[in-house]
């Protein structure tokens, strides 16, 4: 290898590393500026929420995170279990799951499978024991991800849903513009209430989690569900019928 070739190769390597570092910095800067903007908008519109919009009587606890919840669920399974995560972003959750058989699906970054969830399930033949759904929070996407995940789930397996327990109506708009955003993922409960062969529990931790346990081998078909007929006030009324689990009850869940 000539000296000139080595110098050229090193120059290109340095350029690529410099470019990657700058992209990461710009992405970090964009996220920070976006967070500041969302916070500013939230402060501006909070009086509107206080006087004109609904608020759920929910207290989300911060002493256990989604990772803590997932580890409790993992402890209920064998060490060779299969774990799937939909929506990995910067691997805030995926990197903390200490399993050999783990699959992280994200079309942009994070995880270990660079596909959309629809593309992944189209070719998937693996059965999973735990699925964490944290992709798009638009309810039609949550709907599709849930059905595909459920049909790939072993009996006795769990699906953990993120951001399905919003406290403020202002945080449930389909287009995000507040510092905390659930979009309309919370509406998935109205579909889950139609399914007979599952157990469902709310977990009032982190950003508000929902836990589904598959109790029979019956699968679901993807079909249109009219989420447009449901709203946040109906969600609040429905909360009275739902089962909430604390950590002690979760650990004793069979």
pLDDT one-digit tens code per residue, 205-249:
999 999 999 999 999 987 789 999 999 999 999 999 999 999 999
Q: Report yes or no: 53 and 169 within 8 Å, Cβ to Cβ.
A: yes
Reference 90, options 74, 108, 71, 102; nearest CA is 108
| Mean of pLDDT values over 75-104 | 95
Confidence of residue 1 (pLDDT cuts 50, 70, 90): low
**Model pLDDT, residue 43:** 74
CB 43 within 8 A of CB 180: no
> Higher pLDDT residue, 66 or 179?
66
CA atoms within 13 A on the CB side of 195: 25
162 Rama class: left (phi>0) / alpha (psi -120 to 50) / beta: beta
The arithmetic mean of pLDDT across residues 166-172, rounded, is 93
- Evaluate if residue 23 carries a pLDDT over 80: no
For the segment(s) 66-251, the CATH number from 3.40.50.150, 3.40.50.720, 1.20.140.70, 3.40.50.740 is 3.40.50.150
pLDDT at 17 over 90: no
| pLDDT attached to residue 31 | 62
- The pLDDT of residue 183: 94
Instruction: Provide the β-strand partners of residue 133.
Output: 86, 161
Give the pLDDT band of residue 50 (cuts 50, 70, 90): confident
Q: Which of 33-42, 124-133, 145-154, 199-208 is least confident?
A: 33-42
> Please, what is the average pLDDT of the chain?
87
pLDDT, residue 78, reads 85
Where exactly are the structural domains of the chain? Answer: 1-52, 66-251
For residue 45, name the pLDDT band (cuts at 50, 70, 90).
confident
């Amino acid at each position: 290898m000539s000296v000139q070739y080595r110098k050229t190769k090193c120059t290109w390597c340095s350029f690529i590393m410099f470019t990657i570092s700058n992209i990461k910095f710009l992405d970090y800067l964009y996220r920070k500026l976006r967070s500041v903007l969302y916070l500013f908008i939230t402060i501006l519109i909070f009086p509107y929420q206080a006087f004109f919009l609904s608020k759920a009587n929910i207290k989300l606890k911060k002493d256990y995170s989604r990772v803590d919840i997932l580890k409790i669920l993992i402890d209920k399974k064998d060490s060779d279990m299969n774990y799937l995560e939909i929506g990995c972003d910067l691997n805030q959750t995926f990197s903390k799951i200490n399993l050999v058989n783990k699959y992280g699906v994200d079309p942009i970054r994070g995880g270990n499978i660079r596909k959309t969830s629809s593309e992944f399930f189209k070719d998937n033949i693996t059965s999973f024991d735990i699925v964490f759904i944290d992709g798009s929070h638009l309810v039609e996407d949550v709907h599709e991800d849930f059905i595909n995940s459920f049909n790939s789930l072993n009996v006795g397996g769990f699906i953990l849903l993120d951001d399905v327990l919003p406290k403020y109506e202002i945080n449930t708009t389909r287009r995000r513009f507040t510092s905390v955003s659930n979009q309309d993922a919370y509406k998935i409960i109205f579909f889950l209430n139609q399914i007979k062969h599952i157990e469902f529990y709310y977990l009032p931790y982190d950003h508000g989690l929902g836990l589904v346990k598959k109790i029979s081998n019956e699968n679901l078909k993807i079909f249109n569900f009219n989420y447009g007929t449901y709203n946040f006030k109906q969600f609040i009324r429905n909360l009275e019928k739902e089962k909430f689990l604390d950590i002690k009850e979760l650990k004793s869940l069979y």
